[in-house]
Structure formats: C-alpha cells, structure tokens
Structure 1
Amino acid sequence: MYTNILVATGGSPWSDAAVAYAIAIASRTGAKLHVLTVLLNPSAYTTPDVMGGVEVVADLVEHQGRELLAQAEAKAREARVDVETLYRWGSVPDIILQTAADSACDLMVLGARQLSGWKRLRLGRHVNAVAAKARRPVLVVKAPPAAAPGMPLGRRILVATGGSPWSDMAVEHAIRLARTECFALCLLHVMPGRRPEPGAEETGRAILARASMRAAEAGIEANEMLQSGDISKAIVETAAREACDGIILGSRGSSGWKRLMVGSISNAVAVKTALPVLIVKQRMPVY
C-alpha cells in the first residue's frame, strides 16, 4: 500500500503520537520510514545583537534534534521497521513538503494537538499548511494507536463521499487500504442542510451505490449511510456512532489563498474529531 512514509517530529506529545502511528503503519505495510525534525533558525531564539549566542543556541537546537531522532529511530528498529532519520534547518511546512518529495513519500503523518472549546476551530498552523499544499495523502493523528506495532490498526474506517472527483479518490484509497488491512468500510454521504434540496436523496443514494459497488468488486464489506445536516458534524458523529477507527476524506487541490483552508470540510473534520483523519488529494500509483 505504502512504500515510503514521512513523519515529522518536534518532541511534543502529538509529535510522539505521529511517530508511533507512522511506525505502526510502516510495520504493517513494510514501508520505509523517514523521520524528520525541522530545526528553526537560531535567530528566532536570540536577540540580533547577541552574535555569539546564535552559535550556542544552534548547537543546542541541533543536539536536541539529534536526540529526538535517535529516540524515534530506536522505537522504529524495535518494531523492525526500516528507518532513516533526517534533520534540516528552515521553515517547518516547506521542509516537510520538500523532504516528502525528495524521498518519494506516498504518505505523510503529522501530529495535531487535541484542543477544546473555541480553540478547536483551528488546526495547527504547520499541519494546516502542509495539508493544504501536499500532493500526497496526509494522515493527521492526535493520539498513538491502541495496537502494538505489527497488529491491526482497527476494524472499520469511514469514508465520506460527495460524488466529486476528489471524493472518488478518497473512496479508491479507502478501498485499497481496506483490502490491505482487512478493514470494513462505512460509506457516508451527507446532504447539506436541514432540508435537502429536491432530488438530493436520490442523488446521494446513487453516489453511495456506486461506491458500494466498487467496494464489492474489491471484495470489501461496506455499509451505506445517508445523512443530512452540517457535513463535518455529520461525518464526525457518524464515525463515533459506528465505532470507526479512522476517517478518510478527499480534498480538492486549490491554489492561492484557498489553499490556506485545506478544504473546509476536511479541515473541520480534522479539527473536531479525535480519530485519525487521512486527507487524500490524488490517486496513488499502482505498483
């Protein structure tokens, strides 16, 4: 399913969760794991007039980065995962994206902090920036997997589809993942608004039927669900109600200022749920 996985770590609890999840996926798929830490410019930590302090801080930051990578590498090797570590200086989102491209990664795993109250309205700026610009799937996680490396990561995943090309890509990716990991699929279509437009139900059922047929052709167990209301809320609540272990969404690749929103639905879902959210933007190559 995956051949190269990139995970970024900064030493936070949510970064540690991302590393644990990436190791678990690599252990299941046989993918090579690339662990990256991005070191910020030392000038960000010192005042401009303290020239000598910059070198001291740079050495300290680099030392801490190497320690983080060594810890992640040890965990990966304990799980018998092929791993390499990298540290680079620069902008966090830019370095993550460039490293993913350089290493031909087909999955990026990023940690996001679990927030409450009004803070849930925003995703972390680094995660948001990477997910907005990424060309490959991005997995956003907030907690480490419950299963040990090598064990199944769950039993059921929810994939939301609206019938768009990017939704179709999410369905395709979900089917491939389900076939590899023996997941069951929950296929969800949400009709926006409390009072759906005439014909919306018929259209929604047709979209679900097409997705279900594709799953059946691949030998995947799937059940169809048609909901109405706020789309992101319905996705999050349905995933919880159906005891799903993750959510897969398609996201349109936008340009300019629109990229900052990632895709309002995928962004909102990733913010609201505690489940892993896989954001898919283009079809994966078939090996």
Structure 2
Amino acid sequence: MTACLLLVAEDSPSTLAAARYAVDLAHRLGARITAVNVIADGILTDTVTRVSGQPDVGARRDLAGRSVLAHVEQLARLAEVEMETVRLFGDIAERVLDEARRIRPDLIVLGRDDAPRPGGRALAPWADRILEFAERPVLVVPGSRNPRRPATP
C-alpha cells in the first residue's frame, strides 16, 4: 500500500514551505499527497464584503484557494509525485480532521507562519485544534524564515 500525506494548503506564506517539504518527502518515500484547501465559512467573506463595499470578495477568496492548489500541483508534477486536490468549505480544523478520518493519511503536514501572533502563539487557532484532535501524526513545517533565530554577528 502506498503511503499518503495530507497537506493543509491554505492561502498563507507558510503553505509554500509545507508544500515543498511534503512534496520532497513524498518523492523520497514514493508516497502520494492529498492537498486540502478549506474556504472558511462565509462569515468572514460577508463581513469583508459589507465593510469594504466590494462585492467580489468571495470570488477572490475562491480564486486564491484554487491558485494555492494549482501551485502545489505544479510542485508535485515536477517531482513526479501523485497528487489529489480537495476543496472543502466550512471550519478549517473540522474539515481537515474529517478528511484525515476519511483517507487515513500516514502524516498530516501543515505550515507555521513565522509572523508573531497575539499572545505569542506559534500557530493559528485552527492549526492548534488539528494538533489537539488529530488521530494521525502531524508535522508542522516552519515558514521560510524564523524571526526567533539569533542574528548572526
């Protein structure tokens, strides 16, 4: 049976680092990847649309999710890694955990943004929930730069 990685492919800078790591790992292991992009519920879209007055916010969020998946697919294709993409709607953590229960991956891979978060948190709240409730191993890949790394003299 072929190993499977579940990549959380959100529209964030950390997704690229996580995608590169997942593709490299899948290539080395002969594994396949399922990349999941979740469009969070419409509350954010509705709020931004109302505040900004721009009616195309939902379409832009949809396009951003599709673009992320297309980029990850290209990375996989170049590495000759089998990939499936899944677009879901709803709560990010819940949908990722549902997908993990459905496909039972050997590893869930997600990115960690290096930007500081309120309260010193390292992960987005949805990522914390995935770590807490996942029934499969989870790998958190740091972003492309680490502001906590000491400066070189």
TM-score (norm 1): 0.45
Question: What residue ranges of structure 1 are gaps of 5+ in the alignment?
Answer: 145-272, 275-287
- Give the number of equivalent residue pairs: 144
Amino acid at match of 1:133: F
Larger RCO (alpha carbons 8 Å, 6+ apart): 2
**1:224-273, Cα deviation, whole Å (9 max, x unpaired):** xxxxxxxxxxxxxxxxxxxxxxxxxxxxxxxxxxxxxxxxxxxxxxxxx8
Between the aligned partners of 2:37 and 2:117, the Cα distance in structure 1 is: 30
- Which residue in 1 is equivalent to 2:135? 135
How far apart are the structure 2 equivalents of 1:116 and 1:7? 23
Quick check: 2:7–2:19 contact (8 Å CA) kept in 1?
yes
SS of 2:46's equivalent in the other structure is: coil
RMSD between aligned residues: 3.0
Q: In the TM superposition, what whole-angstrom CA distance separates every residue of 1:148-192 from its partner, at most 9, and x where no partner exists? A: xxxxxxxxxxxxxxxxxxxxxxxxxxxxxxxxxxxxxxxxxxxxx
Q: Percent of aligned pairs with the same residue?
A: 30
Give CA-to-partner distance per residue, 1:187-210, whole Å, 9 cap, x none.
xxxxxxxxxxxxxxxxxxxxxxxx
In the TM superposition, residue 117 of structure 1 has moved relative to its aligned partner by: 9.7
Distance in structure 1 (CA, Å) of the matches to 2:83 and 2:126: 23
Contact 2:32–2:81, Cα closer than 8 Å, also in 1: yes
Q: Which has the larger radius of gyration?
A: 1
Give the Å deviation of 1:21. Answer: 0.8
Q: How does 1:13-28 map to 2 (within 5 A)?
A: 13-28=13-28
Q: AA paired with 1:58? A: G
Q: 1:139 to 1:2 in 2, by over 3 A?
A: farther
Displacement of 1:116 in angstroms is: 5.7
- Displacement, 1:133? 0.1
Deviation at 1:127, TM superposition (A): 1.5
Find the residue that maps to 2:26 and give its secondary structure. helix
- SS of aligned partner of 1:34: strand
Partner of 2:31: 31
* Displacement of 1:137: 0.3
Quote the offset at 1:41 in angstroms: 2.2
Which segment drifts farther, 86-95 or 113-122? Answer: 113-122
**Aligned partners of 2:112 and 2:122 also within 8 Å:** no
For the Cα contact (< 8 Å) 1:46–1:54, is it kept in 2? Answer: no
- Give the structure-2-normalised TM-score: 0.80
- The alpha-carbon distance between structure 1 residues 116 and 56, as it changes in their structure 2 partners (threshold 3 A), is closer
Structure 2 gap ranges (5+) = none
Instruction: Label 1:32 to 1:44 Cα distance change in 2 as closer, same or farther (>3 A).
Output: same
**Structure-2 change in CA distance of 1:33 and 1:124 (3 Å):** same
**How far apart in 2 are the matches of 1:96 and 1:48?**
24
Indicate whether 1:40 and 2:40 are aligned: yes
CA contact (8 A) 1:6 1:107 kept: yes
Could you tell me how far 1:2 is from its partner in structure 2?
Answer: 7.0
Task: Confirm whether residue 112 of structure 1 aligns to residue 117 of structure 2.
Answer: no
